[in-house]
Amino acid sequence: MIEVIRDGRLLRITLNRPEKRNALSLDLCRQLVTAFEAADSDTSVGAILLNGNGKCFCAGMDLSEMAVVDSQALSDLHEKLFTLGARITKPIVAAVHGAALGGGTGLAANAHILVAAPDASFGLTEIRIGLWPFLIFRSVALAVGERRATELALTGRTFQGAEACQLGLVHHVAEDPQKSALHVAEIVANSSATAIADGLEFVREMRGKSWDEGGQIARRTRATALNSDDFAEGVDAFLNKRTPIWPSLLL
């Protein structure tokens, strides 16, 4: 239910259930989690590009399964899926076209960089079926703020790329989000793996900490980064006006 294509240091993961608008079935969720976690443990992967085949990115949860799947197993799997952005150490770039509703919005919100088409549609639409978007709420609130996420969850309204960008859910709006996201993902994939891993770990560790605690974490991690081989290479390349050859990419 997914396509996984390797292109150098970039791993492309594509939702491939177009006949169901890439609705998140149990099997699709399981395959996504497995692919992302495998990429996270692969040192040769520099970044992950997520997109969807067909007319839309992801229409959300597959409601046709709700009466037949183990609800606890599904909740456990969704917890893993909708915390990918907070758990894995590889940057995620997502390209969204068409609908990205409910769980589709939650999946998109887990991307570290999100590119969307102008007419891409987002929304926390669970309230329409008598449900609160419990497991995706955290990632959406992290992107747009708790108060705005609450408004979106209460109303269930949909909104398009331009507003999603204004809210902070989307970073870039592009007529061809696949092409734009691929360009960004290739740059990220070939950047310093050490700096990216240190940076994402720093962002996670300082989340929820006080100002002083955040400063302590920043000083500690910066001291380590200043002694890294990648930083030494970056400085030398800058001073000598050449393109850096990151040691972390040669391992």
User: CATH number, domain at 229?
Assistant: 1.10.12.10
How many independent structural domains does the chain possess?
2
Q: Are residues 172 and 210 in the same domain?
A: no
Mean pLDDT of 72-79: 90
- Quote the mean pLDDT of the chain: 95
Q: Are residues 74 and 165 in the same domain?
A: yes
Q: Give the separation between CA 24 and CA 103, rounded to whole angstroms.
A: 7
User: 134-181: per-residue pLDDT in tens?
Assistant: 999 999 999 999 999 999 999 999 999 999 999 999 999 999 999 999
Q: Are residues 136 and 66 in the same domain?
A: yes
Q: If pLDDT is split at 50, 70 and 90, which confidence band does 68 have?
A: confident
Q: What angle do CA 57, 59, 62 make, to 5 degrees?
A: 130
User: CATH number, domain at 160?
Assistant: 3.90.226.10
Q: Are residues 22 and 100 in the same domain?
A: yes
pLDDT value at 95 more than 90: yes
pLDDT value at 67 more than 80: no
CA distances from residue 37 to 34, 41, 45, 159, 220 in whole angstroms, order as listed:
5, 7, 11, 31, 27
Q: Are residues 21 and 63 in the same domain?
A: yes
Distance, first Cα to last Cα, the chain? 32
Residue 27, pLDDT score: 94
Q: Are residues 104 and 123 in the same domain?
A: yes
Q: Are residues 65 and 173 in the same domain?
A: yes
Decide which of 189, 213, 235 is a domain's last residue: 189
Q: Are residues 76 and 170 in the same domain?
A: yes
Q: Are residues 205 and 172 in the same domain?
A: no
Q: Are residues 146 and 226 in the same domain?
A: no
Residue 152, pLDDT score: 98
223 is in which domain, residue-wise? 193-249
Using an 8 Å Cβ cutoff, are 5 and 53 in contact?
no
Decide which of 189, 206, 228 is a domain's last residue: 189
Decide which of 189, 223, 241 is a domain's last residue: 189
User: 15-24: per-residue pLDDT in tens?
Assistant: 999 999 999 9
Q: Are residues 114 and 221 in the same domain?
A: no
User: 98-125: per-residue pLDDT in tens?
Assistant: 999 999 999 999 999 999 999 999 999 9
Q: Are residues 181 and 224 in the same domain?
A: no
pLDDT value at 199 more than 80: yes
